[in-house]
């Protein structure tokens, strides 16, 4: 462990400054007003909405929104695609929003995926939260569902968002480490704000390093209110369920990809769409009663650090999203797209979740610097597909030439147009009252029980990965008190989890009080037991001159029928020829690594071949529990590379047959041979 860095102090007094800052020991506003609370936004009662008069919230968020020019402060590293959403009609009973309610209605969409902490030049595969933002171009106006690949967040109140991001970003003195949370300031923050515990477990789990965007869930995070045509209301949580299943990288793969292909996820997205392997997700909702308490089975629905287990409220599918077209220009579309949680249509409303309340201000405000003024909605990627007559004028980058003499209502000059609509958005009348306070409701104080629920819902191999992630991240912290505080948190989650992480750090495990009466939620585990779809997956076939090209062609045809891709790997480039057949060599051993493939197959004819690069390729795939297969003499090459062919997830055959190719593709559908994990550790 590196020794603690010493802060070197200047031996002479600093030169007097005209601009004043960082003076005194008490927190103030930028105008010098001392503050008594910076963790709670000002609300109308503990459960009420945040108030516009909260000058500290607005100043803190405004300054944060404009910290980066021109890059996004967060979610800077992104990739996107166009597509279509088709509703199935199942939502008609709970919302009058036509794009969700009408069966068969098609709505164009633009979806942007991203990491949170890294800069635009950072790697795709770092351990981080992923943004999952969808812009629906509905006939009633744009709707933005701006979520993440995790259903909970670090904080309960949006006023802390600048703080958690400042903690997660690189240290300001050295601008390192980039795009990762394995450092002192992040763990200092989350160990002092125990509300982050649940989200930290999600981030340290395999969910923090997804295999691809096509195998990543998405969540709206907050609880929304839906309004039906008859005025009835329901509370809902939005879920994106990937048709391809939920799969992850293993940690070594993520590190390898960051070095050899930092564009791993965006390349997979673009290449998959170009190959016709479109990304598909089912949009589902958990429908919950809109009670006065806004709770369900004891779970506070306004707390963004909590989930509602799917076993208690099943996810009802209301439509499907298909991403089928790549952007024409990264800057014009992916970079300039602007999302806003307040982009809604009749039938969808927000709730008093204090994280959401701050987002309603922040998303709109941040575009003013990033996109140069208030007219960013005129950029093609942000333009609604509905008619616009907004009475907004002038400003930076105004591209419209407005006619007429007035921009106000009512008016007696331009025919009193535009008029307000009797079909316009109307906020559902709801009572709002309470003392002005900076506080959270008492129900927000449970910071550990759902973290315990998450951990105890994982399979053994997922728990091992979680322990390794915590040990790695905390092992990167210099400050001993930070590691000790983090362990104290884990002690309140699960005794075994805390003990294993403490052992890895060489520290004594503290005692805690983890919840005892937690019912596991199997839906939280991403390990599958039955083969799933393999659309967009990649199978590498190692071949040499003289290999069985007929068998390769058979595997390629079968894989293509199931949406997967076969790539031929050989020692050098060119074309393999035999018996009038040809196979183009798509990768060489010098230009590829195991991270590129979901399975490695050795063709007959490779029995005498041995190369250090192929050995590394196979051994990495073996360690990462990927499917490894061979037919004919390919088995000899596996043995020569030190691969134990008796281990789980190894598919062997004397000849390439239909049964062999089916077995290989089914094994890929399991994502990994997790049963091999113990075998790898023992060997």
Q: Which residues does the annotation mark as catalytic?
A: 75, 148
> What are the E-state strand segments in 556-667?
565-570, 575-578, 581-584, 587-588, 599-602, 627-631, 650-653
CA dihedral defined by 91, 94, 100, 104, rounded to 10 degrees? 40
Residues 542 and 540: their CA atoms lie apart, in Å, by 6
CA dihedral defined by 32, 34, 37, 39, rounded to 10 degrees? 20
Give yes or no for a contact between 602 and 637, defined as CB atoms under 8 angstroms apart: yes
Closest C-alpha among 281, 259, 258, 253 to residue 598 = 253
Quick one: DSSP state of residue 163?
Answer: H
Give yes or no for a contact between 211 and 270, defined as CB atoms under 8 angstroms apart: no
Give yes or no for a contact between 518 and 456, defined as CB atoms under 8 angstroms apart: yes
Residue whose tokens read 């037919």: 631
Residues 382 and 367: their CA atoms lie apart, in Å, by 12
SS (H, E, C) 355-403: HHHHHHHHHHHHHHHHCCCCCHHHCHHHCCCCCCCCCCCCCCCCCCCCC
Residues 127 and 255: their CA atoms lie apart, in Å, by 9
Residues 370 and 376: their CA atoms lie apart, in Å, by 9
Phi and psi at 233, nearest 5°, equal -120, 150
How do the residues of the chain divide into helix, strand and coil, expressed in percent and rounded to 5?
Answer: 30, 20, 50
Quick one: DSSP state of residue 585?
Answer: -
Residues 458 and 386: their CA atoms lie apart, in Å, by 45
Q: Which two tokens stand for residue 519?
A: 């019912």
Residue 363: how many CB atoms within 10 A of its CB? 18
Dihedral sign (CA 566, 568, 573, 574): negative
Q: Output 169-176 pairs: Cβ under 8 A, ≥24 positions apart.
A: 169/117
Half-sphere exposure of 284 (CA within 13 A, CB side): 17
Cis peptide before 410 (omega within 30 of 0): yes
Residue whose tokens read 């929104």: 65
Phi and psi at 304, nearest 5°, equal -75, 0
What residues pair up with 436 in beta bridges, in sequence order? 44
SS (H, E, C) 59-88: HHHHHHHCCCCCCCCCCCCEEEEEEEEEEC
Residue whose tokens read 């009662």: 45
Phi and psi at 671, nearest 5°, equal 75, -60
Quick one: DSSP state of residue 331?
Answer: I
Give yes or no for a contact between 540 and 601, defined as CB atoms under 8 angstroms apart: yes
Closest C-alpha among 670, 570, 649, 593 to residue 260 = 593
Quick one: DSSP state of residue 332?
Answer: I
């Amino acid at each position: 462990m590196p020794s603690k860095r010493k802060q070197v102090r200047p031996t002479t007094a600093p030169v007097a400054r005209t601009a004043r800052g960082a003076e005194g020991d008490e927190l103030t506003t930028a105008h010098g007003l001392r503050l008594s609370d910076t963790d709670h936004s000002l609300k109308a009662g503990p459960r009420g909405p945040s108030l516009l008069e909260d000058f500290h919230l607005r100043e803190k968020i405004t300054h944060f929104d404009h910290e980066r020019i021109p890059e996004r402060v967060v979610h800077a590293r992104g990739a996107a695609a166009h597509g279509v959403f088709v509703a199935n009609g199942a939502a008609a009973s709970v919302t009058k929003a036509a794009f969700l309610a009408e069966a068969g209605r098609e709505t164009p969409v633009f979806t942007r995926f991203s990491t949170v902490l890294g800069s635009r030049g950072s790697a795709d595969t770092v351990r981080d939260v992923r943004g999952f933002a969808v812009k629906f171009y509905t006939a009633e106006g744009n709707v933005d569902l701006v979520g993440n690949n995790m259903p909970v967040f670090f904080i309960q109140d949006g006023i802390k968002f600048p703080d958690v991001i400042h903690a997660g970003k690189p240290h300001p003195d050295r601008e390192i480490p980039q795009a990762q949370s394995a450092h002192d300031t992040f763990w200092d923050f989350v160990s002092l704000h125990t509300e982050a515990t649940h989200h930290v477990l999600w981030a340290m789990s395999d969910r923090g390093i997804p295999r691809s965007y096509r195998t990543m869930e998405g969540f709206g995070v907050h609880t929304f209110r839906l309004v039906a045509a008859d005025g009835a209301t329901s509370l809902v949580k939005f879920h994106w369920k990937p048709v391809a299943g939920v799969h992850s990288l293993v940690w070594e793969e993520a590190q390898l990809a960051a070095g050899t292909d930092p564009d791993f996820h965006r390349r997979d997205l673009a290449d998959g769409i170009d190959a016709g392997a479109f990304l598909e997700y089912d949009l589902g909702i958990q429908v919950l009663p809109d009670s006065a308490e806004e709770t369900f089975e004891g779970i506070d629905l306004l707390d963004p650090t909590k989930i509602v287990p799917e076993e208690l409220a099943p996810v009802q599918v209301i439509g499907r999203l298909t991403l089928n077209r790549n952007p024409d220009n990264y800057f014009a579309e992916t970079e300039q797209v602007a999302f806003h949680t307040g982009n809604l249509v009749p039938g969808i409303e927000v709730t008093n979740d204090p994280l959401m309340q701050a987002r309603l201000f922040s998303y709109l405000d941040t575009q003013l610097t990033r996109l140069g003024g208030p007219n960013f909605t005129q950029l093609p990627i942000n333009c609604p597909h509905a008619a616009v007559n907004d009475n907004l004028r002038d400003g930076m980058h105004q591209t419209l030439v407005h006619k007429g003499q007035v921009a106000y209502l009512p008016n007696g000059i331009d025919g009193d147009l535009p008029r307000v609509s009797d079909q316009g958005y109307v906020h559902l009348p709801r009572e709002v009252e309470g003392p002005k306070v900076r506080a959270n409701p008492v129900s927000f104080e449970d910071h550990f029980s759902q973290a315990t629920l998450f951990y105890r819902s994982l399979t053994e191999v997922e728990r091992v990965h979680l322990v390794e992630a915590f040990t790695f991240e905390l092992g990167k912290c210099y400050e001993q008190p930070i590691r000790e505080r983090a362990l104290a948190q884990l002690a309140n989650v699960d005794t075994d989890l805390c003990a294993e992480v403490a052992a890895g750090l060489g520290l004594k495990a503290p005692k805690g009080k983890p919840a005892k009466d937690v019912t596991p939620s199997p839906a939280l585990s991403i390990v599958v037991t039955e083969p799933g779809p393999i659309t967009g997956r990649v199978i590498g076939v190692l071949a040499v001159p003289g290999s069985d090209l007929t068998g390769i062609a058979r595997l390629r045809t079968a894989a293509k029928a199931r949406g997967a891709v076969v790539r031929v790997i050989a020692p050098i480039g060119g074309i393999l020829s035999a018996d009038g057949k040809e196979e183009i060599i798509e990768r060489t051993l010098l230009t590829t690594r195991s991270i590129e493939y979901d399975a490695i197959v050795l063709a007959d004819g490779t029995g005498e071949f041995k190369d250090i690069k192929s050995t590394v390729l196979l051994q990495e795939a073996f360690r990462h529990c990927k499917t490894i297969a061979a037919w004919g003499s390919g088995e000899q090459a596996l043995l020569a590379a030190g691969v134990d062919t008796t281990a789980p997830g190894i598919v062997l055959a004397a000849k390439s047959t239909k049964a062999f190719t089916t077995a290989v593709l089914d094994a890929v559908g399991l994502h990994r041979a997790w049963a091999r994990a113990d075998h790898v550790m023992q060997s």
